[in-house]
Amino acid sequence: MISSTHWVKGVVFGSDRCSVEIDERNEKSTQLRGNGAFFIHVQWMGEVLFYQKSEHFRNCGGREAVEVMAKEAKKNDLILHSSGFVNVNGSNNFTSLYSKRGEKGVNQDCFIVWEEFGGQEDMLFCGVFDGHGPWGHYVAKRVRESMPSSLLCNWQETLAEASLDPDFDLQAEKKLHRFNIWKHSYLKTCAAIDQELEHHRRIDSFNSGTTALTIVRQVFDLVPTLPVIPTYHAVRKRKETLNISFKGESIFVANVGDSRAVLATMSDDGNLEPVQLTIDFKPNLPQEAERIIQCKGRVFCLGDEPGVHRVWLPHEESPGLAMSRAFGDYCVKDFGLISVPEVTHRNITSRDQFVVLATDGVWDVVSNQEAVQIVSSTPNRAKSAKRLVECAARAWKRKRRGIAVDDISAVCLFFHPCSIQQVTVPKES
C-alpha cells in the first residue's frame, strides 16, 4: 500500500514507495537511487521533474542526485571549463570559449558550459565569472562549481512544489510561469551560494569576490491541438484530435556584476544587430548608488581614474570595488553591495543567431556592435571566442596605454546550424 499519496500530473509520490503512471504524452521515466534516497525522474512535455520521498530533499537528497548527474556529465565530456568548444552530436548547440590572462597576475576569470543540463538533451547552461581581490580566482571557481548544480536542484524543487499545487496547470506554467520558476530558482541559488561562501573554511571572501553571468537555454514543446477530418471508420467514434509538436526556445539570463550578455539578431534588412540583454551593474547607476548610499557606503572616483566609480567603506578608502553587485566581498555587504541577480528571459526566434557572454575585459574596449561583427565574421565558429578575446587584447593596448590589461574571457553560444547564419554585419564607424 502507498501511504501519504500525492498525485502530480500523472506521477504518484508515496512515503513508503513510489510509482509512476505515464500517459501517452510522456516519453520516458527513470529511477535514481543515491544514499538510500528514492527518486522519480519524469520527462513530460520537455520538462524534467525530480522528486524524492525523503523529508531532507532540500538539504541532501536532491543535491546528491544532481551532483551524480554532474559527475556523469563531466565523464561524458558534456561540461567544459577550459578554452575550446562544445558541440555534442545531434545537438543544435555550438559553444566556443576562450580566456586570456591579463597583466595583473593570475587569471581570475573562469567559465563553464554544461551540455544536456539537467539530463535534457535540449537544455544548456553556460556562464562567465570574473574574480577580484587576493582570493578572487578561488571565489570565482567556487561559484562556478556551485552555481549549476545548486540552480538545477532549486529548479527541480520549485517545479515540484508548483506541481503539488492543486490549481497548477502544466500548459499554463509553460506559457506564463516558466520564467517565474527560473527566476525564483536563481534568487534562491544566489542567496545560498553567497551564504555558503561567507562560511567557507578554505576561501577568504572578506576582501575578495566574483561576478557571475549565466544563461540557461531551454527548448520545449509547443503542442497545438488541431481537429482531424473524420474518416468513414471514425464516424461512430467521438471527435478525434491530432497533436503536432512544434519546438519553442527560450534563454534565461541571470547577472550579478558587470559582465555582459549581447545577442546578435537579424534585422529586417538582413543585417546583424546587437541587443544587450543585461545591465552592467556599476556603482554610478542611479538605483545602485542610491542603495549603497542609503546603507552608509560611499561611491566616488579616484583622482587618477576619472569616470571610474567605485564602492568604498564609510570611513576607509577601501575596497574600491568597480561593480555594485558581487558574490563575496563581505567587508562591504552591510554597506550596499548585494549578490541579488537580475533575471531576464527572451524567446529565441529564427532571427536570433548567437549570444556573447563576456567579462568586462572585453566590454571595456569593444562595443556591442564590434563584438557581433567579430564573432559573425569568424569563418570557423570554434575560434570565434578566441578571435573576440584577441581583438579585445589588442584594443586594450591601443586604447588604454599605460593601464595593465585586464583578464579577458568570452563564451559564444550559437543557436542554429552553421548554414543558417548567412547574414551581413554593418561595420561600426
3-state secondary structure 131-149: EECCCHHHHHHHHHHHHHH
Same domain, 5 and 111: no
Predicted local distance difference test score (pLDDT) of residue 170: 55
**Domain assignment present for 19:** yes
Q: Can you tell me the distance from the alpha carbon of 171 to that of 165, in angstroms, rounded to the nearest whole number? A: 14
CA 156 distance to own-chain centroid: 15
For the stretch 4-29, pLDDT in tens is 333 333 222 223 333 333 333 333 33
Q: What is the pLDDT of residue 87?
A: 65
User: Is there a single domain that holds both residue 109 and residue 185?
Assistant: yes
pLDDT at 205 over 50: yes
The model's confidence at residue 104, banded by pLDDT at 50, 70 and 90, is: very high
275 and 394 within one domain? yes
Evaluate if residue 358 carries a pLDDT over 80: yes
Residues 83 and 135 in one domain: yes
The pLDDT of residue 352: 97
| Per-residue model confidence (pLDDT) at position 167 | 64
CA-CA distance, 67 to 198, in Å (whole number)?
22
Place of cell 506564463: 176
132 and 44, same structural domain? Answer: no
Same domain, 214 and 332: yes
Those residues with Cβ within 8 angstroms of residue 131's Cβ, 6 or more apart along the chain or in another chain:
108, 109, 110, 137, 138, 139, 140, 141, 208, 209, 210
Whether residues 124 and 8 share a domain: the answer is: no
User: What is the structure's pLDDT at 357?
Assistant: 99
pLDDT over threshold 60, residue 281: yes
The predicted pLDDT at position 350 comes to: 92
Give the structural domain span for 360: 77-221+251-281+323-420
Whether residues 402 and 277 share a domain: the answer is: yes
Compute CA distances 133 → 104, 140, 141, 353, 396, whole Å.
11, 11, 13, 36, 21
Residue 61's pLDDT is 53
Domain count for the chain? 2
Mean pLDDT of 166-178: 61
Of the listed ranges 40-44, 107-111, 184-188, 299-303, the one predicted with least confidence:
40-44
Whether 140 is covered by a domain: the verdict is: yes
Residue 55, pLDDT score: 41
**Amino acid 197: pLDDT:** 96
Give the confidence band of 417 by pLDDT, cuts at 50, 70, 90. confident
Poorest-confidence range of 49-58, 230-239, 377-386, 387-396?
49-58
Q: The CATH number of the domain where 403 resides is what? A: 3.60.40.10
Residue 172: predicted pLDDT = 52
Report if residue 209 sits inside a domain: yes
Domain identity same for 89 and 195: yes
- The partner residues of 246 in beta bridges, in order of sequence, read 222
My answer on whether omega of the bond before 134 falls inside 30° of 0, hence cis, is no
Residue 309 included in any domain:
no
Q: Are residues 198 and 269 in the same domain?
A: yes
Q: How confident is the model at residue 62 (pLDDT cuts 50, 70, 90)?
A: low
Least confident of 93-97, 128-132, 184-188, 316-320: 93-97
407, 277: one domain: yes
Q: Can you give the pLDDT at residue 66?
A: 79
Q: What is the pLDDT of residue 76?
A: 79
Q: Which residue has the higher pLDDT, 55 or 311?
A: 311
Please report whether residue 302 resides in a domain.
Answer: no
- Answer for the pair 28, 43: CB distance below 8 angstroms, yes or no: yes
What integer best gives the mean pLDDT of the chain?
80
Position with higher pLDDT, 167 vs 109: 109
Closest CA to 129 of 108, 151, 98: 108
Confidence of residue 169 (pLDDT cuts 50, 70, 90): low
Amino acid at 371: A
pLDDT band at 88 (very low <50, low <70, confident <90, very high): low
Give the tens place of pLDDT for each residue, 385-407. 999 999 999 999 999 988 899 99
Q: Are residues 333 and 200 in the same domain?
A: yes
